Amino acid sequence: MRTDTGQVFKLEDYRPNDYLIPETSLTFRLSPEATRVTAELTVERRDGVAASVPLVLDGDGLTLSRIAIDGRTLAPMDFFATPDQLTITTPPAAPRFQLLIETELAPAHNEALMGLYRSSNVYCTQCEAEGFRRITYFLDRPDILSVYTVRIEARHHEAPLLLSNGNPAGSGELADGWHYAVWHDPFPKPSYLFALVAGALGKVADSFITLSGRKVDLGIYVEPGKERLAGYAMDALKRSMKWDEEAFGREYDLDVFNIVAVSDFNMGAMENKGLNIFNDKYVLADQETATDADFANIEAIIAHEYFHNWTGNRITCRDWFQLCLKEGLTVFRDHEFSADQRSRAVKRIAEVRTLRAHQFPEDQGPLAHPVRPRRYREINNFYTATVYEKGSEVVRMIRTILGADTFRAGMDLYFQRHDGEAATIEDFIKVFEDVSGRDLSQFSLWYHQAGTPNLTISSTHNAAAQEFTLEIEQSVPPTPSESRKRLMHIPLAFSLVGADGKAIAYNGVEGASVEDGVIHIRKRRHMVRFSGVAERPAMSLNRGFSAPVTLSVEQKADDQFFLAGHDDDTFSRWQAFNTLLTDSLISAFRQVLGGKRPNFASRLTDLAGKIAGDETLEPAYRALALALPSEADIARDIGKNIDPDAILSAREALTAAITETNSEIFSRLYDRLADKDAFSPDAASAGRRALRNILLDYLSLLPGSAALVARHFQSATNMTDRAAALTVLALRHSGSPEAVKALADFEAKYATDPLVMDKWFQIQASVPGPQTIHAVRALTGHPAFSMANPNRVRSLVGTFSSANQTGFHRADGEGYRFFVETVLQVERRNPQLAARLATALRSWRSLEPARQAKAREALLSIANAENLSADLRDIVERTLA
């Protein structure tokens, strides 16, 4: 485990390395305890670099067995090797030479799951961000692009399948039951995209004919016996390949494309060139074991990793500060793919909910950083919602500002100009400036400045003058190391909605640039006057969530209710109702703190029933609308002195009020939505199930409803309905005979399926209240649970600490004590996973004083632990700062 070195890497310090490695040849002699890696590197000194400049290569815990240059073994005085670095003190005078390095690894003992390791007897690799240096000494940075040839040798009975990047270039038998395979990738790539897989795996095979008529062989490799579960992933892959050709003109470039699903993986998936390695939860699915959300995630993540072939692989990032260049851009692409495959309106609402749940708190807390960070101590900790989700929103704003056609022209130029290069954010912005003729320098602050901008908006209407005025003021709150903020360019989509629900036309506008229904906010304050507006309109603002901002709008409740029922922008319609719910919940929270019983406006609870029964709306939209803001959402909007118990009470009170008002409507609709057709994971079918299951949650509050939920569980023909019913029983009827039986039946049925058992752990970790900590502690000893497996840890410990506000934030601090013990235990094996878990306390300062003190004590306990990894120390110290 690499402990903290204290080194801070800064964007301003970037400079190209003195050396390049244009060609890399690797030979692996695989063994669980002693794998031998022979790296033959073609090294080139850059023009103008003196021959006396040492060659310094990165390592991480390596054991050097042999080193030679141009066939000559180096004397000890010619190099200096530690486990973490190799220095050639006197490189050859020639500008190009061959460097041979031999290292020895023990994959079976690599529990950090970085570099080369074993997962269920399968050798696999994970090299992003800095895992390749755990395999061999190298210039392990993204701007060193190399053409790789890889030879893999293994015992045939142990690893009949041998895979790496690129195209197959040969295979054969060796002595003593060994065999080999050679792979060659003709496209230069950085070391983080290297991949190797070897083992006994089942295969699902297919092919794809590209736009130019080339045949690409496709393979998805899974544990033997699970091949039938990879069909949806293969279908998603083929749809992704076709979509990228149509939407972005990007054709696949190798002869083969392989995906391997493994059970031990720190991330969701990895886009290694031609050989994607996936967490098996994002590949394996059928109606019996996967929910509709699982199917949607598989579709999106398969697409995301495939799309990286161009945005990440063919064009990579110059340095890790540019991480958003590949991740934010590719998230935007996978969002667009999913929107085209499913419902664009529903997908947009889901995207915004995710952004607000994960990225907004990041921007508001001690871990805030720009989309392109300026400094880091541990790059693994910057695979964040800011880089991914906010990064995607920045790309979306570019399209909003320029229009779809000009945006596509800019993307075409980006691919043409930078193919085969390691690019920067400046390169990306420049192509859009060149195709549009616009100056995007102010807009670029979205990449360089942390924090979520806020727009304060008020309006006046002068009926006599037929003039409607919007006063808009922008501000960005201070964030760590950034107390003073510069003015942003914010594209605010809007409509002036009349009494008939249609947009009101206006004759002219002054005070800001307004184009195609978008107000371009560039100054601190704008007075935007619309002339020719006879009636007072309702303001529909940030339509489609055109900018990732918060709004403080002086708007009458009547207007919000009107927009919630009539706005023709589906996102804004949802937002209006969600704002009404949030405001009511915050008011109820304050009533609970004051010892009062919450009360809610009847027209709010009535509106919930109208939305539920509105057949003009998609069922998936209605399900999203009826899903109340989460406890974490409410806490974020309250901002400080958070009492999670009071928030839960307020939320439960509103749920009960909506149920009481609409029980007959909900019951009839629940019965009408019962599945009569064969299961399909398509968006429309999934939407109907989503609506029926959220109605079940409301109906579960009625007297005697446990029997209804139990019948739903017992009659379920798919995992979506079964897991939904189990969740309702566990959360609404905890400890009841029906809940106890359902949990036991679920466990007995799926005890041998780890991915389904993850759902069982997750549901129990979600049960609100102070008693859940005892169940979670007990479940860490369950035979199906393992602290060594990231999926198990995330399902139980991650869910409890991040998604159970009342359980984790128990007033006596017991949740925090369990958290400290667990994080430190996980860190001994897997520092990266421990660091991710530790982010659960990023908003500790928003808690009420007593809980805040206990949370700080927990963070200090971690910070004071001996031999803390760089990953975990970085998160904890920034959280405490």
Distance CA 766, CA 774 (A): 13
Distance CA 346, CA 343 (A): 5
DSSP SS3 for 506: coil
Distance CA 178, CA 160 (A): 9
Distance CA 661, CA 653 (A): 12
Distance CA 127, CA 125 (A): 6
The helices-and-strands tally (H runs, E runs) of the chain is: 29, 33
Residue 752 CB burial class (10 angstroms; 0-12, 13-18, ≥19): exposed
Q: How, if at all, do strands 538-541 and 490-497 pair? A: antiparallel
| Nearest alpha carbon to residue 183 among 270, 272, 68 | 272
- What tokens appear for 248 in the block? 């972005």
- What tokens appear for 132 in the block? 């390749």
- What tokens appear for 412 in the block? 């075409």
- What tokens appear for 612 in the block? 């539920």
Residue 747 annotated to the active site: no
Q: What is the CA radius of gyration of the chain?
A: 28
Distance CA 84, CA 137 (A): 8
| Nearest alpha carbon to residue 540 among 569, 579, 581, 580 | 569
The three-state DSSP-derived secondary structure of 382-417 is HCCHHHHHHHHHHHHHHHHHHCHHHHHHHHHHHHHH
The three-state DSSP-derived secondary structure of 416-481 is HHHCCCEECHHHHHHHHHHHHCCCCCCCCHHHHCCCCCEEEEEEEEECCCCEEEEEEEEECCCECC
Centroid of chain to Cα 812: 32
In residues, how long is the chain? 881
DSSP SS3 for 581: helix
Distance CA 522, CA 528 (A): 12
The three-state DSSP-derived secondary structure of 308-352 is CCCECCCEEECCHHHHHHHHHHHHHHHHHHHHHHCCHHHHHHHHH
Catalytic residue among 128, 223, 305, 389: 305
| Nearest alpha carbon to residue 486 among 520, 548, 441 | 441
Contact 454, 549 (CB under 8 A): yes
Helices (H), 752-811: 754-765, 772-779, 790-793, 799-803, 805-808
Distance CA 283, CA 201 (A): 14
Catalytic residues: 305
